Amino acid sequence: FNTGDFKPDFSKPDFNKLPIGSVLSRALDLLKKNPGLFIGLMVIASIIPIILTIFTYAVPTLAILVTPVNFIISTVMQGAMAFAVYQVLTGHATSLNDAVKRGLSRIVTLAVAAIITGIGIGIGMIFLVVPGVFLLLCWFVTIPVAAVEGLGAIDSIQRSMELTKGFRWNILAIIIIVGIVTGIVAAIAGAIFVGVLGYLLGGIIVSLVLCIPTAYVNIVNSIIYFDIREAKEGVSIDKLTTVF
C-alpha cells in the first residue's frame, strides 16, 4: 500500500455525497420487499454454528471449531449478500442457492481479505482505538469489492481504500447509527429469550432473531459500496451487469 493511503482525512464531512437517510431507508426497503432472500441467507449462516454449538455440549473438544467455522460462514455470506443486493437492485431474479454459490465461488479471496483486514483493524484497536476505526472505514467495502469485482484479496483491500476516500465520515455516521439500533435489538432479545429460556435454547432463538438486523447491516454495506462507485466513477448499478 502507499503510505498516503493511510493519511487520515480531517476535512469537513459532506453528507450530501452519501446521504445517510437514503442509504438506511433503501436498505430497509430492500429487506422488507425481499425478506425470504436476505433473512434466509442469514438463517443459513446461523444454522451450522447453532448445530455446532449444540454438539459442543456433548463433545467439548468441538468448541475449537466454533470460531473458524463462524468466520468462514460469515465471510461467505457477506459475499453472497453483495451478490443478492446487486441482483435485486438490477431487477434480476435470484435465489438463495444462486447467492450462496457466488459466495462460495469467492471463498478463498473473501476469507484472506477478511483475515488481513481483521488483523489490521484489531491491531489498530489496540493502539488507542482511533487507528483501528480509521482502518475499518478505509476497508469497509473490501468484501463487496472482492465479491463483485472479482479482484484478489490485496487488490480488493486497496480498492476499498481508494473508493472510501472522501466518504469515510459518512460511513462512520452510518456505522454508529446502525450499530446503536442493532445493539439495542440484541440486548432486548438477549434479555428476553436468554433470561427466560436459558443460555442454550435462549441463545439459539437470539441467534435466529438477530438474522434480521444482521441482514439489514449487510444490505447497508452493499448499498454503500454501489453508491460510492456511482458517485466516484459514474458507474450506476445497471452498468455492472457484466460482473456476474
The mean predicted confidence, pLDDT, of the chain is 85
- Would the pLDDT of 158 be above 70? yes
Label residue 177 by pLDDT band (50, 70, 90). Answer: very high
Q: Give the sign of the dihedral formed by CA 233, CA 236, CA 237, CA 242.
A: negative
**What's the confidence (pLDDT) of residue 9?**
57
Neighbours of 204 (CB within 10 A): 19
- Would the pLDDT of 66 be above 50? yes
| 192-227 pLDDT per residue, tens | 888 778 777 888 888 888 999 999 999 999 999 999
Which residue do the cell numbers 473490501 mark?
Answer: 142
**What's the confidence (pLDDT) of residue 238?**
59
67: buried, middle or exposed (CB in 10 Å: 19+, 13-18, 0-12)?
A: exposed
- Would the pLDDT of 10 be above 90? no
What backbone phi and psi angles, to 5 degrees, belong to 193? -80, -45
What backbone phi and psi angles, to 5 degrees, belong to 146? -60, -40
CA distance linking residue 188 with residue 183, whole number of Å = 9
C-alpha cell at 186: 440484541
| 132-151 pLDDT per residue, tens | 899 999 999 999 999 888 88
